[in-house]
Every structure is written in structure tokens, then in C-alpha cells.
């Protein structure tokens, strides 16, 4: 997808071959883990290259509705509403960041209720922000500023006493 295009939940391919990305990420992953993924190809194909993911619709990227596939320049002043209310604004036919976070947090609550040695989540910027922000105790307006790089790994250690951000965007 070209730069400057709104593509949220559009089902695009990976920017690089899945096996190449998986080979780069494998050394960063724990020896044993549960693998979770968004159903969108750009996440699911990478997850499948790493193992057998549990695919969950709630991990898909935010839906930008009528804006999907449009250049931000063409959306123009309609973006002002999003800038004014980044959590509550919803593009026509889409969902808000708050709505996206609610579905992702429902997934997170279920995942954390089941003991696991480690979890690896292959998803997108929006869901990853919602997960990390919630785990780190950030208010929503702060987690929106987390900038997860495409094809990079971040490690959060979740313990009974709290969460530690070990590294970001490796």
C-alpha cells in the first residue's frame, strides 16, 4: 500500500515475505509460547510462518469504514473530527479507537484468564497500542501515541505484581 493511504482493516499482503520476517523475529521470541493473530493476511501469514496461531477477529486493525483505501489528502477536512476526538471519532461506516480498544480488551481479558508461559501476538498498530496501553496502565489518550513498527517485536513481561516493558520495536 502506498504511503498516505488509510488502510485499517483492508486485507493486504505483508510488506515482505512472511518467512523472511519470521526468521528475523524468531531469535527474539521465547522458547515456548501461545501464538495469537489477527485474521488479516498481513498478520496471519506472519503468524503462520512462526507456528500455529489462534486467530481471533478481535485482533484485527481498526475499521476506517468509507475511508478504507482513500488517500489522507483526499479525505481532507473530514480528518479534523478525528484530530479533535481521536478516541471517539468514527469515520463513516467505521469504528472509533474506543470501540476497537473495547473488542481488543475483551480478547486480552480472556487471554489473561488462561495461564500461559508466554504469549506472542501478531497484530496491528491499533490493537497493539490498546494491549500495551492497558497492560502498562496508560490512559487511552497516551497509548494512542505508542508507535509500533511494522514487522518489529516488543516485549512486555506480565507478572502478578505488574507489567514491565522490556524492549520496544526490535
pLDDT the model gives residue 91: 96
Read off the C-alpha cell for 67: 475511508
Domain boundaries, the chain: 18-167
Please say whether the dihedral angle defined by the alpha carbons of residues 56, 61, 63 and 66, taken in this order, is positive or negative. Answer: negative
This model's pTM is above 0.75: yes
Does position 116 have pLDDT exceeding 90, yes or no?
no
Domain at 18-167: CATH code: 3.40.50.1240
Does position 21 have pLDDT exceeding 90, yes or no?
yes
Amino acid at each position: 500500500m502506498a504511503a498516505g493511504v488509510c488502510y485499517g482493516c483492508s486485507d493486504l499482503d505483508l510488506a515482505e515475505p512472511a518467512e523472511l520476517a519470521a526468521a528475523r523475529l524468531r531469535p527474539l521470541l521465547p522458547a515456548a509460547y501461545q501464538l495469537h493473530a489477527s485474521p488479516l493476511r498481513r498478520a496471519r501469514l506472519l503468524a503462520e510462518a512462526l507456528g500455529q496461531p489462534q486467530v481471533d477477529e478481535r485482533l484485527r486493525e481498526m475499521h476506517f469504514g468509507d475511508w478504507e483505501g482513500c488517500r489522507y489528502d483526499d479525505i481532507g477536512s473530514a480528518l479534523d473530527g478525528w484530530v479533535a476526538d481521536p478516541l471517539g471519532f468514527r469515520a463513516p461506516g467505521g469504528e472509533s479507537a474506543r470501540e476497537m480498544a473495547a473488542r481488543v480488551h475483551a480478547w486480552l481479558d480472556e487471554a489473561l484468564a488462561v495461564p500461559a508461559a508466554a504469549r506472542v501476538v501478531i497484530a496491528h498498530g491499533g490493537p497493539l497500542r490498546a494491549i500495551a496501553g492497558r497492560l502498562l496502565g496508560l490512559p487511552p489518550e497516551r497509548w494512542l501515541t505508542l508507535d509500533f513498527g511494522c514487522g518489529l517485536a516488543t516485549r512486555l513481561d506480565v507478572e502478578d505484581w505488574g507489567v514491565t516493558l522490556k524492549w520496544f520495536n526490535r
